[in-house]
Each structure stands twice: as C-alpha cells, then as structure tokens.
Amino acid sequence: MIKIDAVGDVCPIPVVKTKNAIKELKGSGTVETLVDNEIAVQNLTKMANQKGYKVKSKKISDELYSVIMTVGEEQTEKEEQAPAAAESGGSIAVISSGFMGSGDDTLGAMLMKSFIFALTQQESLPEAVLFYNGGAKLTCEGSASLEDISYLAEHGVEILTCGTCLKHYGLSEKLKIGGVTNMYEIVERMSRAARIIKP
C-alpha cells in the first residue's frame, strides 16, 4: 500500500498525487490518501468512481480524512469489455422528421408511415431506430406508426428517442415505446453502425 500525505494541499493536488501513486502501482494495489477537507474527499471519490476503482473514505478528525483506493481485477475487466462493444456495428435507422422528404407534408407523413411499415417487413431488421426532432413525435401517443414501431421493438429492435426533442415538443410524458437517448449516444450509435438507413 502506498500512503500519500496531501494534508494542506489544495485541489487538484491531492488528486494529482493520488493519480501518480496509482501509476506506480502498475496495475493493482492500494493507495491511501490523507487530506484535510471533505471536498477533497469528494473529488478523490469522483475520480475513483469514474476510473472504476474501489474506494472507501473515513473521517479521522475535523481536519483529517483518509481515502483508500484499491486498483485491481474489476477495473481490468471493465477495460476489456469496451472494445467488444465498439465492434458490434449492425445497421441503424434514423428518423429525423415526421415527414419523408420535403414538398407536400401530407404526402410526407403518409410516406413516413409507410416507410416504417416497410421497415418491419425487412428480412433483417436494424439493430436500432433513432428518432429525433420531428421524428420524436412518432414514438409518442397519437402517432400513426405506434403499431409498427411496437412490432420492431418486440422483434428486438432498440427504439430510442431524443430526450431533448421530447422535452422541446412537451412530449416527455407521452412517450409510448422505447427509451430516451441523448446526443452523445446518438453520435456514438451512428458512428458505430455498419450502415445507416435514413428515409
């Protein structure tokens, strides 16, 4: 176990010292950091949680706290899983509007409904369908495509709707199918996908 005395150090120095000590561990072991305030404990705990280290802290006195981090097997497991997930690129459908194409919106709405229906008829279904902006309305109460989208969900297609968009249209409580997503996940899913299908 490495002991770090960071009493009297202001943030971020306790974190910097602890990070350096963890590097010295070369993979596994324990680091105990002594600090003199609770905020430093919180910042150290935040780092440990983000890095997947086991962390315990205790208050020794009003001006002395101990934070113990254990770096070990759990963390290596987490690192190994990451690349596997990155390779799973199936196809993804992206619905960015309630209408298919631009011109006449009445026609566009009909085309979109039939696009989603046609999607259910494909031999190989997409891995996920992402709904955003006007597309977000399609997964909500009142949408003409709910039945088709339910079919997709029942057949293992992940249905994800942009939370920002739901909020914007006041539809957060009206979402009927699937989960809520955000820009980070949308970009990640799109860049991981082997193919993107967009009406």
Partner 1 sequence: MSDIVFCKGGGCTAKLGAGVLSKVLEKLPRGEYDANLMVGYDSRDDAAVYKITEDIAVVQTLDFFPPMVEDPYTFGKIAAANALSDIYAMGADVITALNIVCFPEKMDMNILGRIMQGGAEKVIEAGGILAGGHSINDSDVKYGLSVNGIVSPKRILANNTAKQGDVLILTKKLGVGIVCTASRAGEASQDAMDEAVASMTALNKYASEICRKYNVNACTDVTGFGLMGHLHEMLSGRLSAHIISGSVPVIRRALDYADEFLLTAAAQRNRNFTEQYIEFNNIPFAVEEILFDPQTSGGLLISIGADEGEGLAEELRSAGMPASIIGEITAKDKNEIYVS
Residues that bind partner 1 (CB under 8 A): 10-13, 15-16, 19, 37, 39-40, 42-43, 46-47, 50, 162-164, 167-168, 180-185
Locate 6 and state its tokens.
Answer: 């960071």
Nearer to partner 1, 12 or 29 (CB): 12
CB nearer to partner 1: pick between 133 and 150: 133
Tokens 């690192």 — which residue? 79
Tokens for 110, please give them: 């009909």
Instruction: Provide the minimum distance between the beta carbon of 172 and partner 1 in the complex, in angstroms, as a whole number.
Output: 8
Of the candidates 46, 48, 51, the residue with the CA atom closest to the CA atom of residue 76: 51
**Contact call for residues 43 and 69 (beta carbons, < 8 A):** no
Least Cβ distance, residue 37 to partner 1 (angstroms): 7
Smaller CB distance to partner 1: residue 50 or 102? 50
Report residue 122: phi and psi, to 5°. Answer: -70, 150
Between 19 and 192, whose beta carbon lies closer to partner 1? Answer: 19
Q: For partner 1, give the closer residue by CB, 30 or 181.
A: 181
Q: Measuring CA to CA, which residue among 70, 71, 67, 69 is closest to residue 5?
A: 67
Task: Give least dist CB 11 to partner 1, A.
Answer: 4
Residue 81 CB, shortest distance to partner 1, in Å, is 18
CB of 169 to partner 1, least distance (A): 11
* Other C-beta atoms lying within 10 Å of the C-beta of residue 1: 10
Helix H segments across the chain? 13-25, 38-51, 73-86, 105-120, 146-154, 163-168, 183-192
